[in-house]
Amino acid sequence: MSVEVTVDPGKIARTLRLRNGIVARRLSERTARTARIAEREAPGSMGRYISWKVQDGPRGLQGVIVCDHPAVRYVLDGTRPHIIRPRRAKALRFEVGGRVVFAAYARHPGTRPNNFLLRALIEGR
Protein backbone atom coordinates (compact mmCIF):
# COMPACT_ATOMS: atom_id res chain seq x y z
CA MET A 1 0.00 0.00 0.00
CA SER A 2 1.40 3.38 -0.97
CA VAL A 3 0.35 6.86 0.04
CA GLU A 4 0.91 9.93 -2.06
CA VAL A 5 0.92 13.43 -0.53
CA THR A 6 0.92 16.54 -2.67
CA VAL A 7 1.84 19.83 -1.05
CA ASP A 8 0.51 22.93 -2.76
CA PRO A 9 2.46 25.93 -1.36
CA GLY A 10 -0.06 28.38 -2.83
CA LYS A 11 -2.98 26.79 -0.95
CA ILE A 12 -1.00 26.71 2.29
CA ALA A 13 -0.10 30.37 1.92
CA ARG A 14 -3.73 31.33 1.20
CA THR A 15 -4.94 29.32 4.19
CA LEU A 16 -2.46 31.07 6.48
CA ARG A 17 -3.54 34.50 5.19
CA LEU A 18 -7.26 33.98 5.84
CA ARG A 19 -8.93 36.71 7.91
CA ASN A 20 -9.96 34.30 10.68
CA GLY A 21 -7.02 31.95 10.29
CA ILE A 22 -4.60 31.01 13.01
CA VAL A 23 -2.01 33.54 11.85
CA ALA A 24 -4.54 36.40 11.91
CA ARG A 25 -5.74 35.43 15.39
CA ARG A 26 -2.20 35.22 16.72
CA LEU A 27 -1.30 38.56 15.13
CA SER A 28 -4.43 40.10 16.63
CA GLU A 29 -3.53 38.83 20.12
CA ARG A 30 0.03 40.16 19.90
CA THR A 31 -1.08 43.53 18.54
CA ALA A 32 -3.67 43.91 21.32
CA ARG A 33 -1.07 42.98 23.96
CA THR A 34 1.41 45.52 22.56
CA ALA A 35 -1.31 48.21 22.47
CA ARG A 36 -2.13 47.54 26.15
CA ILE A 37 1.55 47.95 27.02
CA ALA A 38 1.66 51.22 25.04
CA GLU A 39 -1.42 52.47 26.93
CA ARG A 40 0.32 51.69 30.21
CA GLU A 41 3.61 53.35 29.15
CA ALA A 42 2.03 56.48 27.65
CA PRO A 43 2.30 59.65 29.74
CA GLY A 44 -0.77 61.32 31.19
CA SER A 45 -4.02 60.79 29.30
CA MET A 46 -2.26 59.85 26.06
CA GLY A 47 -3.02 56.15 26.61
CA ARG A 48 -6.72 56.77 26.00
CA TYR A 49 -5.92 57.82 22.42
CA ILE A 50 -4.27 54.51 21.48
CA SER A 51 -6.10 52.11 19.17
CA TRP A 52 -5.07 49.04 17.18
CA LYS A 53 -6.18 47.03 14.17
CA VAL A 54 -5.08 44.20 11.89
CA GLN A 55 -5.13 45.08 8.20
CA ASP A 56 -3.84 43.87 4.86
CA GLY A 57 -0.41 45.20 4.04
CA PRO A 58 1.95 44.90 1.08
CA ARG A 59 3.33 41.58 2.40
CA GLY A 60 0.18 40.17 3.98
CA LEU A 61 -1.53 40.94 7.28
CA GLN A 62 0.01 43.51 9.59
CA GLY A 63 -0.84 44.79 13.06
CA VAL A 64 -1.10 48.57 13.37
CA ILE A 65 -1.06 50.59 16.60
CA VAL A 66 -2.14 54.25 16.34
CA CYS A 67 -1.98 57.11 18.84
CA ASP A 68 -4.25 60.02 17.81
CA HIS A 69 -3.29 62.42 20.61
CA PRO A 70 -2.47 65.89 19.20
CA ALA A 71 0.84 66.10 21.11
CA VAL A 72 2.17 62.60 20.40
CA ARG A 73 4.94 63.87 18.05
CA TYR A 74 6.25 66.21 20.76
CA VAL A 75 6.33 63.35 23.28
CA LEU A 76 8.01 60.85 20.93
CA ASP A 77 10.59 63.28 19.51
CA GLY A 78 10.98 65.66 22.47
CA THR A 79 11.17 69.45 22.18
CA ARG A 80 13.98 71.98 22.28
CA PRO A 81 13.93 74.87 24.75
CA HIS A 82 11.52 77.52 23.49
CA ILE A 83 9.60 80.64 24.49
CA ILE A 84 5.85 80.43 25.15
CA ARG A 85 3.86 83.57 24.33
CA PRO A 86 0.13 84.17 24.85
CA ARG A 87 -2.07 83.72 21.78
CA ARG A 88 -5.21 85.70 22.54
CA ALA A 89 -4.58 87.41 25.88
CA LYS A 90 -1.91 89.96 26.69
CA ALA A 91 -0.32 87.87 29.44
CA LEU A 92 0.12 84.29 30.59
CA ARG A 93 -1.45 83.32 33.92
CA PHE A 94 0.34 80.97 36.35
CA GLU A 95 -0.10 79.87 39.94
CA VAL A 96 3.16 79.90 41.89
CA GLY A 97 3.08 79.02 45.57
CA GLY A 98 -0.67 79.65 45.77
CA ARG A 99 -0.35 83.13 44.24
CA VAL A 100 -1.50 84.11 40.75
CA VAL A 101 1.33 85.49 38.60
CA PHE A 102 1.09 87.09 35.14
CA ALA A 103 3.91 87.11 32.59
CA ALA A 104 4.36 88.37 29.03
CA TYR A 105 6.19 85.14 28.10
CA ALA A 106 7.68 82.01 29.66
CA ARG A 107 10.87 80.10 28.87
CA HIS A 108 10.11 76.39 28.47
CA PRO A 109 13.16 74.18 29.15
CA GLY A 110 12.15 71.60 26.52
CA THR A 111 11.37 67.92 27.02
CA ARG A 112 13.30 64.72 26.55
CA PRO A 113 12.06 62.22 23.96
CA ASN A 114 9.77 59.53 25.40
CA ASN A 115 9.39 56.79 22.79
CA PHE A 116 6.78 54.75 24.67
CA LEU A 117 5.58 53.11 21.43
CA LEU A 118 9.02 51.62 20.74
CA ARG A 119 9.29 50.36 24.33
CA ALA A 120 5.85 48.75 23.99
CA LEU A 121 6.86 47.12 20.72
CA ILE A 122 10.02 45.66 22.25
CA GLU A 123 8.22 44.46 25.39
CA GLY A 124 5.22 43.09 23.48
CA ARG A 125 7.16 40.70 21.24
Give residue-wise pLDDT tens across range 74-100: 999 999 999 999 998 889 998 989 999
* Average pLDDT rounded to a whole number, residues 47-73: 91
Q: Is the model more confident about 114 or about 22?
A: 114
* Average pLDDT rounded to a whole number, residues 53-63: 85
* Average pLDDT rounded to a whole number, residues 95-109: 93
The reported pLDDT for the residue numbered 43 is: 94
Instruction: Select the highest-mean-pLDDT range: 1-5, 16-20, 32-36.
Output: 32-36
124 pLDDT band (50/70/90 cuts)? confident
Q: Any residues with CB less than 8 A from the CB of 94 and at least 6 apart, and which?
A: 100, 101, 102, 103, 106
110 pLDDT band (50/70/90 cuts)? very high
The reported pLDDT for the residue numbered 4 is: 77
What stretch of H or E contains 53? strand 50-57
In this prediction, what percent of the chain has a pLDDT beyond 70?
Answer: 97
| Whole-number Å distance between alpha carbons of 65 and 69 | 13
The reported pLDDT for the residue numbered 9 is: 78
The reported pLDDT for the residue numbered 11 is: 75
pTM of the entire predicted model? 0.75
Phi, psi of 13 (to 5 degrees): -60, -45
